[in-house]
Amino acid sequence: MRRRWITGLVGTASLGTLMVGLGGPTVAASAAGPLTGNLYSWGTFSLKATVSETPQIVTGVPGTIVQISGSDRDMYALTSTGTVWAWGGEAQGALGNGTSGSGYETTPVQVQFPAGVSIASLPSPMPQKTGMAIDTNGNAWGWGAAGSGDLCSTAVNKKVPQMITAPQLKGVVTLASGQNNHAIYYTSTGQLYACGDNNAGQLGNGTFTSSISPVQVIGLPAEKVTSVQTSWEDSGALMADGTYWDWGYNKAGELGDGSTSVSDVPVQVSLPAAVDAVSQGGSLSNNGQTVAILSNSSVYAWGDDADGQLGIGSSGHHDTLPVAVRVPAGTTFVSVNSGGASEYAIDSTGNVWAWGQNNEGQLGIGSTANQSSPVSVGINASQVFSIAYDVAAFSL
């Protein structure tokens, strides 16, 4: 049996009574007001026995955090000085600090890049048991399991970061994302490449053949890519014109094209307005959903809704076309994140919201009950990130 922390939020704040209103979202009120702080985590990390049903403060990252990301077993924080810090499981070298084993770090450790390397951004998310980063010179780095060639090489179980040396990617990577055993990379020259497993067409090159060498994604419009997304066996790209395209696995309508057929090339998702922000989630073959904020401030989601993760007030089905999320009245979501089978948002006041699966406390509301419409987590944050059952957030 798993041991659960149910003592309430860190500090003096605690969750008040869950207020349920007919026809409106459920809101978990914080009796003592929102928490203040820098870095939080909740849910279950690295599939460990301890579950946190409310946000817990994480200490040990020096300096100012500017971004967080993670894989299925680990979380990473990027600081304003270009250093990266990791916590979670050390299996297969995923912490990037030279260790590997069955241990688990609750205090962040520094990822050991070569001297002189400064990191500009973290891909979001990252493949299983694998860490990734992009440096200030446009080079992509990887460490950890690197299964199935998602880091575009045959090397595996890297205990410290190694530069991805594929000629198509060296010195030109601006965006990247990976999940399960594949990853995609966008370059300053305007090409989108992919490496790794391809059994559902997630590499987007018109085949179902896996590749350890970068293959070019085909079929996207002649627009700049502004965001790249990945989930279990899916990939996606947000274009500068506000259109969103995705490809790969589609058992529960993850592609949002009205079908459940896989696609080995990008398909456009039909939405009522241009997309401003998007996040694609799903960490297993039996889940997968995407949430998007549109230019008119409405929020839409599509895919699996078995646990209420589409935020439409119901559960137990899937939607192959986008549906409107029940955003609380008077609330404007400005960023979104899609995890394993849960969704998260930050509103214009910085308040964090969550909905969907909650069996491991990943909604952060002090219970393990699923929620089919947004609930307030009771903290303010600049970014929230989730994958599988792991959640982290930070505030500036």
Residue 11 is predicted with a pLDDT of 31
Residue 157 is predicted with a pLDDT of 83
How many residues are there in the chain?
396
Residue 286 is predicted with a pLDDT of 76
Residue 313 is predicted with a pLDDT of 97
Residue 254 lies in a domain: no
Number of domains the chain contains: 1
Residue 345 is predicted with a pLDDT of 98
> What is the reported pTM?
0.90
Residue 15 is predicted with a pLDDT of 27
Q: Check: CB of residue 185 under 8 Å from CB of residue 140.
A: yes
Residue 33 lies in a domain: no
Residue 374 lies in a domain: no
SS3 sequence of 50-109: CEEEEEEECCCCCCCEEEEEECCCEEEEEECCCCEEEEEECHHHCCCCCCCCCCEEEEEE
Residue 2 lies in a domain: no
Residue 90 is predicted with a pLDDT of 87
Residue 212 lies in a domain: yes
Q: Check: CB of residue 43 under 8 Å from CB of residue 386.
A: yes
Please count the other Cβ atoms lying within 10 Å of the Cβ belonging to residue 161. 25
Q: Among all chains, which residue has been given the structure tokens 């946000």?
A: 55
Residue 257 lies in a domain: no
Dihedrals phi, psi of 147, to nearest 5 degrees: -70, 145
CATH of the domain at 195: 2.130.10.30
Q: Give the model confidence (pLDDT) of 264-278 as tens digits.
A: 999 999 999 999 999
Which residue type occupies 342?
S
Structural tokens at position 328: 């609380």
Residue 7 lies in a domain: no
Residue 188 belongs to what domain range? 64-225
Residue 278 lies in a domain: no
Residue 101 is predicted with a pLDDT of 84
pLDDT tens for the chain, 396 residues long, are: 333 332 333 332 222 222 223 233 323 333 234 444 489 999 986 556 567 999 999 999 999 999 999 998 899 999 999 999 999 988 899 999 999 888 888 899 999 999 999 999 999 999 999 999 999 999 999 999 887 899 999 888 899 999 999 999 999 999 999 999 999 999 999 999 999 999 999 999 999 999 999 999 999 999 999 999 999 999 999 999 999 999 999 999 999 999 999 999 999 999 999 999 999 999 888 789 999 999 999 999 999 999 999 999 999 999 999 999 999 999 999 999 999 999 999 999 999 999 999 999 999 999 999 999 999 999 999 999 999 899 999 998
Q: Give the model confidence (pLDDT) of 277-316 as tens digits.
A: 999 999 888 789 999 999 999 999 999 999 999 999 999 9
> What is the distance between the alpha carbons of residues 360 and 74, in angstroms, rounded to a whole number?
16
Q: Is 178 exposed, middle or buried (0-12, 13-18, 19+ CB in 10 A)?
A: buried
Dihedrals phi, psi of 93, to nearest 5 degrees: 80, 20
